Structure 1
Amino acid sequence: MEKQIINTTKAPAPIGPYNQAIKAGSMLFVSGQIALHPETNELVKTDIMAETHQVMQNLKNILAEAGMSFADVVKATIFITDMNTFSDINEVYGKYFTGNFPARETVQVAALPKGVNVEISVIACQ
């Protein structure tokens, strides 16, 4: 099976030795996204909802570059630094799906890259 590297300027460039996403057959594996604004390379950290919205926009743009959308997402992983913010994150996250939600887990972690509060990765399939 051949793999295809997916990158777009509409999402932040990787900050390490990885790609935004890899397409393998009909599966798309999107690397964890944080709230970096792709045009300014600045973190969006005004509040947890704005931060989550930027993360979801980054994911949306990577999915689009691969010819997919949130309707194709089958699995999501959410990493957060404070479980008390889960309801706000969940509220924003839920607005990007129109039903048939993907499988998901949410994990509280001690820290995330660049001191962000939320990171989300997804797997999509067509």
Structure 2
Amino acid sequence: MENQQRGESRLDRVSESSRKQRDGAEFVGAFGKKTGSSDLVFLEGLLPERDGEVARREPPSRQLEICLQTLEAELDRYGKDPADVLQLTVYLTDMDAYEEINDTYEQFFGTTCPARTTVGVCELLGGAAVTVDGVIAIE
């Protein structure tokens, strides 16, 4: 109500045009590849995409592998490697697949596994079974 009194609409507060939006599938929404300005990169909504399509028919472990390949490409962009990943959040639609995605996670990171939170969710964009958010140190 207070914002309406100042002449602002809800749409004026939804998003700033300077926020970098993610490339890829049309499921853009509010998911960005990098936010903020610091020695950290915050990656959001890394979907298991190949050629702009969500690989929803792949098993969760393969979907995570695709997400981690996208993460690796982002790391390369900044001249970093998996040891520079500080934290990941993995969103998973089927918690029964936890052990298989855990194996994929450990294979990718080896002995340098960053802190991780796995969150069970009902549904993800594009019918994906897995999506990933991450924090990377670029200092």
TM tier relative to shorter chain: 0.7 to 0.9
Question: How many residue pairs get matched?
Answer: 119
Larger radius of gyration: 2
Judge which range, 17-26 or 92-101, deviates more: 17-26
- 1:41 matched residue in structure 2: 52
Match of residue 92, structure 1, among 104, 107, 110: 104
Q: How does 1:36-75 map to 2 (within 5 A)?
A: 36-37=49-50, 40-44=51-55, 45-75=57-87
Give structure 1 regions of 4+ aligned residues with deviation exceeding 6 angstroms.
none
Q: Given the two structures, how large is their TM-score scaled by the length of structure 2? A: 0.73
Query: Closer, same or farther in 2 for the Cα pair 1:23/1:69, shift >3 Å?
Result: farther
Q: Identity of paired residues, percent?
A: 25
Compute the displacement of 1:73 (Å). 0.6
Unaligned runs of 5+ in 2: 1-18
Give CA-to-partner distance per residue, 1:17-57, whole Å, 9 cap, x none.
443123632111111211111xx212223222221111111
Q: Kindly report the root-mean-square deviation, in angstroms, between the aligned alpha carbons of the 2 structures.
A: 2.4
- Report the alpha carbon displacement of residue 6 of structure 1 after superposing the two structures with TM: 9.3
> How many angstroms does 1:66 deviate by?
2.2
Of 121, 125, 128, the residue aligned with 1:109 is 121
Question: 2:21 touches 2:30 (CA, 8 Å); kept in 1?
Answer: no
Q: Which has the higher strand share?
A: 1
